[in-house]
Structure 1
């Protein structure tokens, strides 16, 4: 058909030669504008009447609309034979629709070109932004500025136009054409003084064009216009005022190469592109292993990155971003349980959208994310079962365990070492379905260590050795655990993995307690608590002082002195500590009530230790349901040291706690029997 339509300015139409079509009557142009705003959707006649006469329609309004439409059809298709249906303005059900291709309407064409510019590197983007902005002949529907039916579309397209002006200027700056950007930016901020991005771009362009004083004056004007502005203006000023003659890095240093490569990448890769999402995911993955600050930053930004990926509407892209974070995870209590649960659910959603026919490696990555992030009780979607009740099936745990199993099977089938390392990490996190899993974890750690060593995967090798260290300590094989400790420290130093030494520092305190006793180990624990307090792993450190204070209590046979715990933050261990402290204070009734409602300990590295704590409290007040449950849960761990599998603390052999529980069960059962006989 070849007819072109204009919304960006006065409503207009042009024939195949580019000549204006006769739309002389305002109502004809208004009907055309209203149909174009509908973007191909049907506009009922009643809606057209209400929009054209916003106050009160005359009696013959419906007939008038039909007359306007007929005249519009004649103007747009002057060569159409009589009684042949229009191919442009069509009758459809209760109303009319305008059928036009996207390239035939200037507003739609602007959007499409802007989308291409958005994905292009800066040098290619500048002419595309020019082309997009050239679509504008004036304000949207310039001849109908008060039309309420156009208000939303007018605001949306105007926002896109302002963004396009700034994106074009940003692309010019990235290509070194600062001078070319200045004039348009001056006009832009003069017309829209509330646009902080525009002011930032203008001051930056002036500074890069060598007009330093003008840049500072523009900053003053921006602060006045924006009532001070936000941090973006402050950062711009700091950059402009930074000394230009500071000594440059030698060209061959790593920092210099990083800075130059990062600047080139930023210029070459379009903003908001998928490449930036992928690169950000890789950056966060590397950032997480640099130390405490990097780990905290990676955790903080990861949820935002996942949200950004999901908002693209591309299920495979979102799945790749979510599944890319294969940072080795050691501690089985999540630093941020709520965030971990969200990430686990995001991975499950991505897997569901991919479906069973999705790429197997990608599905395995998502399953590994589910397994890793569902550590402990992070993925719980219901209240935890009580410790006083019989063991219950927990569906969220079953989902995570099955995810880990499927991920490992798929990775083995595909023969992908990095994928298998990630899947084995998930299997480790889900290896705590019951107490006494140290032997299984030692096997997992050994496989992961061999795999990583064979394929030069330093991160997974450190992880595998830490898993072995913990498992060997839990099994009481401290000599072998010592060897792993030395290997971990060497690997951490060689591969810049500072967080690994947090675990070896704690293990050395545990080891000293086993060899020289609590009095000798106490100063070491005090030092370790202080040195690792800010290691970026709150799931490990919060409440750790309480675990340390419990060591002499649980390695002995008595109850704690509540005063020793008065100033300590129990953190996540509060539910299991409270009954013991109540029993120790002589408040038997409240201790029994607390034991009746306390949840079962998390399925993590400290579950044996916490069952021992509950057993001690239950034995002291005669709470047989919890005492029997604790005894049954601990029985599979009879060959282990309670808590030592964490690599943090050891409450001594589990067999001693089992014997104490058996004796208490017998004593309380006999007492209950005698009481019944007396009755």
Structure 2
């Protein structure tokens, strides 16, 4: 199901690279032309008749169709040398009347370049990213096919994009106070492309900002002379306005002062001078910083998680329980995904919070205690055990009590039942927050309540209520991050309930807040939702739906959310195919062990979803006995946003091989969700109405 990891270069002579960066021999010029023509098509099917017409523009020889098929066969051998005989190709595929090349979204240098040029990034990141992207060019695009009609439009488009990239890079440098660095590149740019008025404008502005007013005016006069003498046109309004502004030293031409950066630097320096390096206040200040850093996504989120654990450990070493509790509870970062990015680290946080609760003095503030409880509820998500249940914890009534140990039967010592303990922590945190009438604390507690609302299927309506309260509460009290969270929760819930119009409204609201308050991670979730929306609408072809999911998955790269990323793309594509009644691709099966290959092989990585996917793919691959064995071993899915989807995959496998016990398990688990769309509660993918899967199960008797 996943694309083979081969890279393609068209920003210069057309070439291909293997996973190690070595050049792949794609044979002669006709082979290269077929490859280039398929890349131009951007994953769409090119009929064989079109390939023939493009390769032989004048008079195709007899047997041209056969020659094209020979070229394609040779390309397949070169691009997928390890593909077993008689297995379907996964990169250069046959569809309908022709062929399509299906590389990963980032596998073609031109596609990556386009993403780099159009990405919405801060100016300081734009300049660096475009510097790298412009370095990918090895000559004119599709250099070896300059005279081919089929390549002409794409060559022109990419050439224009390259020019725009140079100008956008200059704009970013000007915006970040690097006018002097912009001048040499712009000078060369206008010399080579003298008809680009925006390039002249940027060069003049860069010269002016480096104190060279005379040179800036000379550049504008040179531009006017070229335009008038060679094109017979006067400069446009932006060039004329810039000349007038330079002559009168208009204030807006000067770069805006970096007020925020200056204030930050001065405040940080004052803090360093005023607060001793060993002061306990630094730990609490650090946690406030980590909380703000986490919502920036990417490296910021990863760093925040790492430093959070270090700060908790430092607080514990000081032996001050209340300080430790404040450090733990101050990290109230909203969470929407129910699978932990780092389960081991989450378990550490839960253990630390449980220890602080056990030692919490009766006189300590209730709000601090509630924050510890909310932390336990939030971090005790799918796959994370709650550690605790000791005597001191039971004496203080922390999380209530379950018999003598607080553990589920058969659980290891010190590990309690995640669902019961996490839900009880959420309940107590919410109760305290409402009693104290503390809006920020209540929002934190409600996030924990949401995270613990997966003890059975069919609870989308309850989560919609939680999201609605978060939206209203946050809007009243100016808590933008929790308002975003509320909209994302409601987006998920409305998807599960089949209300895509409502989900659209919450997606738009979340994106508006994210843009206003600089919350880049929101776009990851709404981007995935739009792929689901396209798929669920029923108008997109399977290829178009898969492409939308792949584009959404590309946004996860560097987002710092491995708990969301791993296995999600193949799962989304599998669910799309199952829902549409299309054949299931079982090609990931290893003939020797019937286990999924590892990511390092370039094959499909199902991540944490493998146990529930495996029986269905074994059944689809013609291995009913192994599918039956896998069904006997498959555990109940974890309580998370994809629980209904996992049960539906189990149900489909059980129906396929007639496993009545597995059918009964799936039917009983799915019955409460009969009115929902399976998997759509994630806002990321869907297996269609749960009722359809229940109907397929029937009554196993």
Question: Normalising to structure 1: TM-score of the pair?
Answer: 0.58
> Does structure 1 retain, via aligned residues, the 8 Å contact 2:347–2:387?
no
Q: For residue 459 of structure 1, what is the aligned residue in structure 2?
A: 481
Counterpart in 2 of 1:312? Answer: 318
State how far apart, in whole Å, the 2-side matches of 1:421 and 1:341 are.
22
Question: 1:474 and 1:440 mapped to 2: Cα distance?
Answer: 12
- CA distance 1:251–1:273, change in 2 (3 Å): farther
Aligned to 2:524: 502
Alignment of 1:105-124 (within 5 A): none
2: CA distance, partners of 1:431 / 1:283: 30
In structure 2, relative to structure 1, the CA distance for the partners of 1:478 and 1:491 (3 Å cut) is same
Specify the SS of the correspondent of 2:301: helix
Partner of 1:259: 265
Root-mean-square deviation (Å): 2.4
How many Å apart are 1:605 and its aligned residue?
A: 0.4
Of 557, 564, 585, 1:540 maps to 564
Are 1:471 and 2:507 an aligned pair? Answer: no
Out of 341, 346, 363, the residue aligned to residue 352 of structure 2 is 346
Flag the 1:535–1:493 CA change in 2: closer, same or farther, 3 A. same
Displacement, 1:599? Answer: 1.7
* Inter-partner Cα distance in structure 2 for 1:380 and 1:580: 32
Give the conservation status (yes or no) of the 8 Å contact 1:545–1:568. Answer: no
1:607 to 643, 647, 655: 643
Q: How many Å apart are 1:508 and its aligned residue?
A: 0.6
What are the superposed Cα offsets for residues 337-369 of structure 1, whole Å, 9 maximum, x if unpaired?
A: 111111111111111110555321011100000
Q: Go from structure 1 to structure 2 and tell me whether the alpha carbon gap of 1:467 and 1:344 turns closer, same or farther (over 3 Å shift).
A: same
- What pairs up with 1:225-264 in 2 under 5 angstroms? 253-264=259-270
**In 2: Cα distance, 1:571 partner to 1:252 partner:** 44
> Where does residue 579 of structure 2 map in the other structure?
555
**Alignment of structure 1 residues 81-92 onto 2, 5 Å:** none
Question: How do 1:46-195 and structure 2 match up within 5 A?
Answer: none
Give, in angstroms, the shift of residue 552 of structure 1: 3.0
1:431 aligns with 2:437: no
Choose 648-657 or 625-634, whichever is displaced more: 625-634
Match of 2:615 among 566, 576, 579: 579
Match of 2:507 in 1: 485
Confirm or deny: 8 A CA contact 2:294 2:304 kept in the other structure.
Answer: yes
Distance (Å, rounded) in 2 between the aligned partners of 1:424 and 1:538: 24
Q: Which segment drifts farther, 585-594 or 313-322?
A: 585-594
Report the CA distance between 1:416 and its aligned residue.
Answer: 0.5
Structure 1 residues 296 and 252, CA gap change in structure 2 (3 angstroms):
closer
- What does residue range 354-503 of structure 1 map to in structure 2 within 5 Å? 354-355=360-361, 357-379=363-385, 395-503=417-525
Q: 1: distance between equivalents of 2:627 and 2:267?
A: 63
Q: Offset at 1:547? A: 1.2
Q: Which residue of 2 aligns with 1:278?
A: 284
Could you tell me which residue of structure 1 aligns to residue 688 of structure 2?
652
Match among 509, 525, 531 for residue 555 of structure 2: 531
CA offset digits 1:564-590 (Å, max 9, x no partner): 686211111111112222222222222
How many angstroms does 1:533 deviate by? 2.6
Q: Determine which of 634, 646, 655 is the counterpart of 2:670.
A: 634
* Distance 1:276-1:479 versus aligned 2 partners, 3 A rule: same
Distance 1:504 1:552 in 2: 18
Cα 1:651–1:529 shift into 2, 3 Å: same
| Aligned position for 1:324 | 330
Which residue number in structure 1 is paired with residue 68 of structure 2?
A: none
How far residue 296 of structure 1 moved from its aligned partner, in angstroms, is 0.9
The worse-fitting range, judged by mean Cα deviation, of 565-574 and 406-415 is 565-574
**Ranges in structure 2 where 5+ consecutive residues have no aligned partner:** 1-209, 212-254, 389-406, 410-414, 590-596, 598-602
The whole-number CA distance in structure 2 between the counterparts of 1:358 and 1:588 is 60
Partner SS, residue 562 of structure 1: coil
Deviation, 1:546, is: 1.8
Residues 380 and 354 of structure 1: CA distance in aligned 2, closer, same or farther (over 3 Å) = closer
Structure 1 pair 281/380, CA: closer, same or farther in 2 (3 Å)? closer
User: What is the CA-CA distance between 1:380 and the residue it aligns to?
Assistant: 5.9
Q: Please give the per-residue CA displacement for 1:371-423, whole angstroms capped at 9, x wherever unaligned.
A: 000011212679x999xxxxxx9823101100001100110000000000000
Compared CA separation, residues 614 and 380, structure 1 to 2 (3 A): farther
1:446-485 per-residue CA deviation (whole Å, 9 max, x = no partner) reads 0000000000000100000000000000100000110111
1:250 deviation in Å?
A: 8.6
Q: Say if 1:394 and 1:639 are closer, same or farther in 2 by CA, change over 3 A.
A: farther
In structure 2, distance between residues paired with 1:552 and 1:416: 43
CA distance in 1, matches of 2:282, 2:266: 17
1: CA distance, partners of 2:417 / 2:258: 56
Match of 2:188 in 1: none
- Cα–Cα, structure 1 residues 598 and 381, in superposed 2: closer, same or farther, change >3 Å? farther
Evaluate the alpha carbon distance shift between residue 621 and residue 419 of structure 1 in structure 2; reply closer, same or farther with a 3 A threshold: same
Pairwise mapping of residues 209-228 of structure 1 onto structure 2 (< 5 A)?
A: none
Preserved contact between residue 545 and residue 569 of structure 1 (Cα < 8 Å): no
| TM-score after normalising by structure 2 | 0.56
Deviations 1:639-676 (A, max 9, x none): 100000000001111100110111xx54xx6xxxxxxx
Deviation per residue, 1:489-534 (Å, 9 max, x gap): 1100000111011111011111111112452322211211112232
Segment drifting more, 447-456 vs 617-626: 617-626
1:495 and 1:486 map into 2 onto residues whose CA distance is: 14
Q: List per-residue Cα deviations over 1:13-45 (Å, max 9, x = no partner).
A: xxxxxxxxxxxxxxxxxxxxxxxxxxxxxxxxx
Q: Partners in 1 of 2:536 and 2:518 — Cα distance?
A: 30
Q: Give the whole-Å Cα distance in 2 for the aligned partners of 1:522 and 1:561.
A: 13
Counterparts of 2:331 and 2:303, CA distance in 1: 14
Does the 8 Å contact 2:488/2:506 carry over to 1? Answer: yes
Alignment partner of 1:535: what SS?
A: coil
Q: Distance in 2 between matches of 1:320 and 1:649?
A: 38
Work out whether residues 487 and 506 of structure 2, in 8 Å CA contact, stay in contact via their aligned partners in 1. yes
Larger Cα-atom Rg: 1
1:288 paired to 2:294: yes
Contact 1:641 1:654 in 2 (8 A): yes
**CA–CA distance in 1 between the matches of 2:577 and 2:507?**
27
Q: Distance in 1 between matches of 2:580 and 2:647?
A: 16
CA distance in 1, matches of 2:326, 2:386: 25
Q: Secondary structure at the match of 1:563?
A: coil
Query: What is the deviation of 1:535?
Result: 1.3
Contact 2:385 2:417 in 1 (8 A): no
User: In the TM superposition, what whole-angstrom CA distance separates every residue of 1:175-231 from its partner, at most 9, and x where no partner exists?
Assistant: xxxxxxxxxxxxxxxxxxxxxxxxxxxxxxxxxxxxxxxxxxxxxxxxxxxxxxxxx
Distance in 2 separating the partners of 1:478 and 1:522:
20
